[in-house]
Amino acid sequence: MIAVIEIGNKKYQVDFSKRNDIAIPLNFNGEQPNTYGVDKAKSKPYQDGQFIGDTRKGGPCNFETYSFTPHCNGTHTECIGHITDERITILSSLKDEMIPSTLITITPKSTSENYTPELNKEDLVITKEDLISQLKDVDSKFLNGLIIRTLPNSDNKKSRDYMNETPSFFSMEAMEYLVNLEVHHLLVDTPSVDRLFDDGHLSAHNIFWETKGKEFNPDTQNKTITEMIFVPDSLKDGHYLLNLQIPAFVSDAAPSRPILYKINEL
């Protein structure tokens, strides 16, 4: 289906038959990315007495129980409830269905920018300096969503154990810059916008949702962070229409499926 949409005062053509899925498929019992060494996502046939939910074992149908940790087992979208005492849910937070967005590519690096706790020498960081360089000419109407692909961009991001390969994260200045740009939906191919072991500060999360401590900020409830995406090299930097799909989970985070549609100005 081809549609014409209006963003700002300009019209664009979107071909909805050509979608670009940037989620990492959650392969239960197979290869999958992992953070913090949690149990892998698993599935097993439900069994109750003589009933077994596996047609290969004589059951009448396939009927499985799934076990996973959304924050650690693959592509997921989280809301402010991830860091607040108040149990806000992603289902009540994600309101936007079609999100004008921009895809950029950045090489994380050592920096003199700041972070709490202090940066280590080996830390590789997404910096404000590089964000300014990539976003200086971007139409603000396409910054409701921002997708960041980091380099190097190998396929092993789809099955990487982040206890063995330390991921990059955002400096405080970088995240403050994105807040000033009014980015509402941030998507990254790292397992967290913060350093994995940060003594519980979650500096970048708190800056993004403009929270202090664990206090809920209703003004930023509709902002989301999506982590552990994978953007193939075939997708070029530029403007897209983002459809951020989640199941109806009453939880602070849920597995998600971000879909990008290329748009052309008419």
At 49, list the tokens. Answer: 């007495």
Q: Above pLDDT 90, what percent of the chain?
A: 97
Q: Could you give the domains of the chain?
A: 2-24+75-265 (3.50.30.50)
pLDDT band at 1 (very low <50, low <70, confident <90, very high): confident
How far, in Å, CA of 76 to CA of 72, rounded?
8
Q: Which parts of 169-214 are beta strand (E)? A: 169-170, 185-188
Write out the H or E segment, with its range, that includes residue 244. strand 238-245
pLDDT digits (tens, 9 = 90+) for 75-131: 999 999 999 999 999 999 999 999 999 999 999 999 999 999 999 999 999 999 999
User: Tokens 């910054």 — which residue?
Assistant: 143
pLDDT digits (tens, 9 = 90+) for 215-241: 999 999 999 999 999 999 999 999 999
Q: Are 124 and 254 in contact (CB under 8 A)?
A: no
Pairing label, strands 99-106, 238-245:
antiparallel
pLDDT digits (tens, 9 = 90+) for 154-198: 999 999 999 999 999 999 999 999 999 999 999 999 999 999 999
Count the Cβ atoms, other than its own, within 10 Å of residue 88. 21
Q: Which are the contacts of 190, defined by CB distance < 8 A and separation ≥ 6?
A: 150, 167, 168, 169, 227, 228
Write out the H or E segment, with its range, that includes residue 128. helix 128-135
pLDDT band at 213 (very low <50, low <70, confident <90, very high): confident
How far, in Å, CA of 2 to CA of 11, rounded?
13
Residue-averaged pLDDT of the chain? 96
Which residues partner with 12 through β-bridges? 5, 265
Q: Which of 77, 89, 70 is nearest to 221 (CA)?
A: 89
Pairing label, strands 76-78, 253-255:
antiparallel
pTM greater than 0.85 (yes/no): yes
pLDDT digits (tens, 9 = 90+) for 22-66: 999 999 999 999 999 999 999 999 999 999 999 999 999 999 999
How far, in Å, CA of 168 to CA of 194, rounded?
8
CA distances from 218 to 1, 79, 209, 223 (A): 37, 12, 9, 10
Residue type, 49: G
